[in-house]
Structure 1
Amino acid sequence: MMMTTQAETNAKLPTHTIYVVEAKEGNAKSNWLPVGAAWEHNGGEGLSLSINSLGISYLKDKGQDANLVVRRNKPQE
């Protein structure tokens, strides 16, 4: 059985989370629905994305634009 180091395990975790943002009217806060994950390329020049389109379809069915936001994950403590 092959052992996995902590660094190898962390390398497989997504570096970013992808959200679809549902805008609200007035001063109400927007809803941020996580719909996917992203992994930064080794050279830092791009991202590989995995997106669940159900969250996007939800807003489209309501007649709203689906605005996607990619945010870097905060380090786990």
Structure 2
Amino acid sequence: MAKKQEAAPAKNTPSHGVFLVEGEGDRAFWTKIGCAWQHGDGEGFNVALSALPISGRLVIRSKKEER
């Protein structure tokens, strides 16, 4: 019987999530609209959005802190 291999971590996995946040405080509504990849030198990000917001604000959070 062949050994089952564990899946290797995906390359180029996004390091951050991009969210549209509307409202303030406990009443804020968060919608995930994309992902971000930190540059190797730590000086910036590549961002891919699946929607373009016309209101609210964009928040970029590290994956471990996603809501």
TM-score exceeds 0.5:
yes
Higher normalized helix content (fraction of residues): 1
Shift of 1:28: 4.9
Gaps of 5+ in 1: none
Counterpart amino acid of 1:67?
Answer: R
Query: SS where residue 69 of structure 1 aligns?
Result: strand
Gaps of 5+ in 2: 1-6
Q: Corresponding residue for 2:30? A: 32
User: Which contiguous aligned blocks of 4+ residues in structure 1 show a shift greater than 3 angstroms?
Assistant: none
Q: Check whether the contact 2:23–2:56 (CA below 8 A) recurs between aligned residues.
A: no
Higher normalized strand content (fraction of residues): 2
RMSD: 2.4
Q: Check whether the contact 2:36–2:47 (CA below 8 A) recurs between aligned residues.
A: yes
Counterpart amino acid of 2:16?
Answer: H
Aligned pairs (5 A) from 1:1-77: 6=8, 9=10, 11-23=11-23, 28-54=26-52, 56=53, 60=54, 65-74=55-64
Query: SS where residue 20 of structure 2 aligns?
Result: strand
How many matched pairs? Answer: 59
TM-score, normalising length: structure 2: 0.71
Shift of 1:14: 0.5
